[in-house]
Structure 1
């Protein structure tokens, strides 16, 4: 646990009550600060509710791998591929997309992997440290994490990604044929090869986990304010409050952690981040007759299946279509088709659907740090597919920065000004 700040405790407004914001709030309280947690919908209501629920420490390889540019057009026109686009949104998407695809090269992948490894590489321990004594620790389940392939050749076709993980210290077991069946007989014969990574974890109910963390913060004195922050108010170059509705909430420092909605407020602070929504979908199968042993990534469909309390959650799909368009039907149909292919004979009593917004920065690296020239302003957003995984570490780093402490890692890769 970080040492106490040498200064008197500050009043800190944390804008955004997802996993990043709530983690920041708890670590700030442990550092002796007073916290106001501001969210337009309340704790754990957005992407922190609907994510895949895996503490995916190994997920350091971005979507933008070499060869993506050649594959993407075919993927967009193949209804069996997990990439969708609302074509009316394309003109608005193009400037971001050009920068995003510009990172589909070997050097950028290794740079992103090294940066993310520092944030998510020890996620299970980070979540355990965050949640200790909060009542939320009951939702954390240590587990393996498996990547499922059709066969050995299919696994070997993914060699680049595994070489990146190996370079960052990850180790795994390969389970094939009968060894895989013995580990988990849930899957059909089409899946005959599995990569098993140990020391990962899952959250049995991500939304309730974040709500329980927030309730602990509130019980320890945090003020939870439901409303939309429209500005961070400054005087003589220092933060003095946050504008919420018609009032200014006084504070000594403000942390912006509203995921994909962070862009406009960051811009008001002079920081322009190329940020876009990767619309993600989940399908929950309640009371399934077959429950897998561990969370898995099914490589052929690029979707995750995670055992949760009372249900199996299927999550994945990337759709570009902005923040305002309604959900599409095709992603739900594809998730259902894919799980029925992976687990023949699966049946369930009730289906629930969800669509949310992953905050995707053009270089696939989150923005974490102080805002230059604005005393008391800090940013923490842009974790694309690993927000739950990286939330506790990000929150701890932000709390240290607010406290005037120097984190024991180089924050340059996450610099808010790297795009200026």
Structure 2
């Protein structure tokens, strides 16, 4: 019989912006009612964080490339929750070791190509060791992934097993990026991560997101047709939409869940919603100016040097408390029937509630009963209703229309 693990959860990357918020959440929500520790590469920063926000919780030190140190951490815990991005840069060894050692793992990545590589490399390994590797356990992409899962189930229950033909999502959101998020985005667009080959996924011969437990390509396909610029609503009950920066990531998370859960052969469309056409156009103009500044190297340098937040920095507490997210989802079935839902978050979803989502995703695996074997998953294909219940108990709202 394997030795009992000391910790229910170890938070890796705890000293970053989102990691610090997760420490605050763990301290205020759970205190000493669960066994947890924080981990990262800087002992001094971890000690300061533990004293200031962690209630003097245990600290574990290991760099993201320190195989021996990471192994020692993994052997002490039931689940690792990682906030240490960019994940293509810092996350691969940790995922590899969790998969090989049979330890559950959650992260908040939005890096889809890296997720594809993790599936290609470690899905079979994790199934053999029964490790549950779950990506997208934050704002990227729990609200959409869980909503799609719930809508597909509702459609099937209400209409005699009807499959989904189309998902439509309308995102009403107030949030702002942190330095870490921008660092990840800039790395993918302009940094060395842009040149990553991600060679293992290509060996499969199909999109790794479609990989099933037996190694074959899923029969359940999904096309993404997210809003590119402007989608004017033809219904008085639905708002206008424009493009949403994270829609492609959310679509790919749902694509992975669909491959494993079998919602149907479907189309996915998502966009940010607005109350009127004027607000929509103003948003488009603002993003056009921002995009112009980002893609011109001299302006990008000025933005990063003097205007945008640096890694470790993010929105103020006051701003995060004024943030919100309301995700209206519509699932249309093959026979024309529809079901609708709304999932709501009452504070900033990108950071403050991402910290909560990450913690609850991890605790769903370590202290709750989740019926999911090993492999590389999304929340909608692993924690499912167990995670939904934990989120509802701690601040999220969900309803069908």
TM-score range, shorter chain: under 0.3
Task: Specify which structure has the bigger relative contact order, considering alpha-carbon pairs within 8 angstroms and separated by 6 or more residues.
Answer: 1
TM-score scaled by length of structure 1: 0.25
Bigger fraction of residues in helix? 2
Bigger fraction of residues in strand? 1
TM-score scaled by length of structure 2: 0.26
